[in-house]
Structures are given as structure tokens and as C-alpha cells.
Amino acid sequence: MTDLGDRPGSRSIGQRAGGVIRGVLGLLGGLVRLVTGLFAAVLIVHIVLVVLGANPDNTVARVITELADSLTLGLQNLFLLGNPTLQVVVSYGLPALVWLAVGAVIVGLLRLLGRPRSGLA
């Protein structure tokens, strides 16, 4: 009789658990990347709508503006510039970059946590 652990392709419980944890961390990393990317996209769409002169009374423009205002992380009007168009680009572009950076850092940490460990300690 052969032991189940002796069969080629069989994995120990620890290996399977590690695979499940890496899968969950990978899924969580994908979700973080999606959410932070969507937040940055809303901010960028707001910039485009303002720069192109979209009607602020339009429902879509109003919803995007409200979403963008809630995603600025307190960085809106951090710098006061003389040019209104440049003011919008900086006030909403900077938070978009911060959202992307925060997402990248969190995803990097999740990947680091999900790396397989060597047997050496």
C-alpha cells in the first residue's frame, strides 16, 4: 500500500492552505486595484469634463462631480493657482495619483504576504 503523500502530484495540507491563502490575497489585490483604479478614473473623467466645458447642470456631469468631490482625500484646493483650468487639473489630478499609488502599495504588500516561504528560517 502506498501512502497518499507518496503519490506524485499530491500536496500536503500546508501546501494547499498556502495556495488558498495566495489565491485569496491575489483576489483581494485585484479588488483593491479595481477599486482604486475606478476612484482615479472618476477623478480623471471629472477633469476631462471640466476642461472640455461640460454642462454642470447635466445629470451625468453632476454625478461625476459629486463622486469626484468625495474622492479628493482632502487634497482639493491644496494649491491655489490663478488659472481655473489648471486648478481643476491639480486639485483632482493629485488625488487620482494618490489613489493609484495607494493601490499599488497595498497590492505590493498583498503580493509580499502571499509569496511562498522557503523552508529556511
Q: To which residue does cell 497595498 refer?
A: 106
Hey, where are the domains in the chain?
32-114
User: Model's pTM, two decimal places?
Assistant: 0.77
Q: Fill in the amino acid letter for 3.
A: D
pLDDT at 106: 95
Q: To which residue does cell 482632502 refer?
A: 74
Q: Three cell numbers at 93?
A: 489630478
Rounded to whole angstroms, what are the CA distances from 66 to 43, 54, 57, 70, 90? 10, 14, 12, 6, 17
Residuewise pLDDT in 10s, the chain (121 residues): 445 555 555 566 656 666 777 788 888 999 999 999 999 999 999 999 999 999 999 999 999 999 999 999 988 888 898 899 999 999 999 999 999 999 999 999 998 887 766 655 5
pLDDT at 101: 97
Calpha distance 76→64 (Å, rounded): 15
Q: Three cell numbers at 7?
A: 503519490
Inter-axis angle of helices 13-51 and 59-70, to 10 degrees?
A: 120
